Chains A and B, each alone.
Chain A
Amino acid sequence: MSFEDSLRATELLMGFAFSLQSLEHLKSCRNVRYLFFPRLVLALLLLIGVHTPWVSVLLLVLSLLVLHRFQGPYNGGSDRMSLLLLSCLCAAYWAPGVYWQQLALAYLAVQLSLSYFVSGWVKVLNPDWRSGLALVDVFRFSTYPVSESLRDWSTQPRLLWGMSWCVMGFELLFPLALLFRPAMILALGIAAVFHFANACLFGLNRFFWIWISAYPSVLWFQSYLLSKY
């Protein structure tokens, strides 16, 4: 994947993710319309591909205002990933010279890889994750309506122990996928299915859309690495 193709794919995915987020806010809360109506318009411009360098800067400024409005992230990690994506996109447009522009996108790719690795590392240090108890509690206490129908899974400790180690193993091994193209395609496919399952089972839909928005950067970064070394 070329640098330009990766940037455009990121814009399209981010534009779609930000449009959904903005529409959700416009639907649920009247007192934030002054922030999310402009954000929706800018997200649509990002999708269309009009003046994307300026649009990304305006989206970044607006994201900081949203951060101030809610006195922190509205949806934790997904908002942090949105800010990271926007910052890297802005740097990729406005940095002086190809070297710095590529470095911005490479930084995003490394952060994406680390997001999985660090998440796996934190889990593997936690005895409740190693024993499977953490996932038992997730299925036992989640109040999300879909999870309530899966409450019986909490009575299957062996199954959840296996699932816990699958998740931790995958997250810890993710950076190794940078070494081989087929491994990366497979790893991103598995990661996307993982986020999709979290969206279906636990309602974390924003994580799904914003995390896959960063996938083009890692595909370009791997092509770049493999062509150089």
Chain B
Amino acid sequence: MLWRVIWNPKWNETLFVVSCAERLLAGVNPAHSEAEILYRLKRDHTLLYPKQQGVSHIRFRLLLLSRQGQELLQEVAYMSLPKALANI
């Protein structure tokens, strides 16, 4: 835990991806935000499943949680179009 006060690249990148999601929903340069998210999804997918065959496209969705009183609501706020891995 203490080492992460000095070195925490993965989490800082996660925070950037959250910023991209917020910008995407706000309509601020959405193409850039979508490209940044897809680039990281492709990179992490390749790292996690280096030998996986047959995956040609990826897509992502943004799920928002909101509170209404004591009840939590889920809403799919955005669904990207399938994108060919070769084009990311």
Contact = CB atoms under 8 A, between A and B. Distances in A.
Q: How large is the interface on A (under 10, 10 to 19, 20 to 34, 35 or more residues)?
A: 20 to 34
A20 B5 CA distance: 10
Interface stretch (A68-76, A83-91, A96-104, A170-178): A68-76
Q: How large is the interface on B (under 10, 10 to 19, 20 to 34, 35 or more residues)?
A: 20 to 34
B45 to A, nearest CB: 16
Contacts, number: 61
Contact of B16 (A27, A70, A203): A70
B70 to A, nearest CB: 10
Q: Is the interface of B mostly helix, strand, loop or mixed?
A: helix
A129 to B, nearest CB: 14
| Ranked 3 nearest A-B pairs via Cβ | A24-B9, A203-B11, A28-B9
Contact of A205 (B8, B16, B23, B33): B8
27 contacts: A20-B6, A23-B7, A24-B8, A24-B12, A27-B9, A28-B9, A28-B10, A29-B13, A71-B23, A71-B32, A71-B33, A72-B19, A74-B12, A74-B19, A75-B15, A75-B16, A75-B19, A76-B19, A141-B65, A146-B1, A196-B5, A199-B5, A203-B4, A203-B15, A205-B5, A206-B12, A208-B5
Interface in A198-219: 199-200, 203, 205-206, 208
Interface string B1-41: 11011111111110110010001000011001100100100
